[in-house]
């Protein structure tokens, strides 16, 4: 199984800050890496897939980078609506696996 590790587990920043979340896989996921946003009491929402492709309707302040085993989600200018937990996920092989999540808080 491919294990996914995210860091940090919690991130606190000001509105307008640039923030990044990292995600590391235990083996190459061949670019099949997605990011989801989850707000309290809600289902996850797909933000980015195939490392860097933005899902339709997702603000352009979100971006994804990386390759092989190391990936990052960056929010270029943090907004109040971005307060949520973010998960990376590999869909290269089964079982599909998620990172442990990063909770983003607004100071």
Partner 1 sequence: EVQLVESGGDLVQPGGSLRLSCTASGFTFSTSLMHWVRQVPGQGLMWVSRINAGGTTIIYADSVKGRFSVSRDNAKNTMYLHMYSLTTDDTAVYYCAKDRGGDLIGLWGQGTMVTVSS
Q: Which positions lie near partner 1, rule CB under 8 A? A: 32, 34, 36, 42-46, 49, 55, 87, 89, 91, 94-101
CB neighbours (10 Å) of residue 75?
Answer: 21
> Residue 46 corresponds to which tokens in the numbers above?
């797909």
| β-bridge pairing 19-25 and 4-7 | antiparallel
Whichever of 69 and 101 has its CB closer to partner 1, that residue is: 101
Residue 98 beta carbon to partner 1: minimum distance, rounded to whole angstroms: 4
Asked if residues 35 and 65 have their Cβ atoms less than 8 Å apart, the reply is no
92 vs 39: CA distance, rounded Å: 26
Q: For residue 41, count other CB atoms closer than 10 A to its CB.
A: 5
Q: For residue 50, how many other CB atoms are within 10 A of its CB?
A: 12
| Closer CB to partner 1, 98 or 106, in the complex | 98
- Quick one: 71 or 87, whose CB is closer to partner 1? 87
Q: Which is nearer to partner 1, 12 or 53 (CB)?
A: 53
CB of 43 to partner 1, least distance (A): 4
As measured in angstroms, the least distance from the Cβ of 107 to partner 1 is 22
CB of 15 to partner 1, least distance (A): 26
């Amino acid at each position: 199984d491919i294990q996914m590790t995210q860091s940090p587990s919690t991130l606190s920043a000001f509105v307008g800050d640039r923030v990044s979340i990292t995600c590391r896989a235990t083996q190459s996921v061949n670019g099949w890496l997605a990011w989801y946003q989850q707000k309290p009491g809600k289902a996850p929402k797909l933000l980015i897939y195939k490392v860097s492709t933005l899902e339709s309707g997702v603000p352009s302040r979100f971006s994804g980078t990386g390759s092989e085993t190391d990936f990052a989600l960056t929010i270029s200018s943090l907004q109040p609506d971005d307060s949520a937990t973010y998960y990376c996920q590999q869909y290269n092989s089964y079982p599909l696996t998620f990172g442990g999540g990063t909770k983003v808080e607004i100071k």
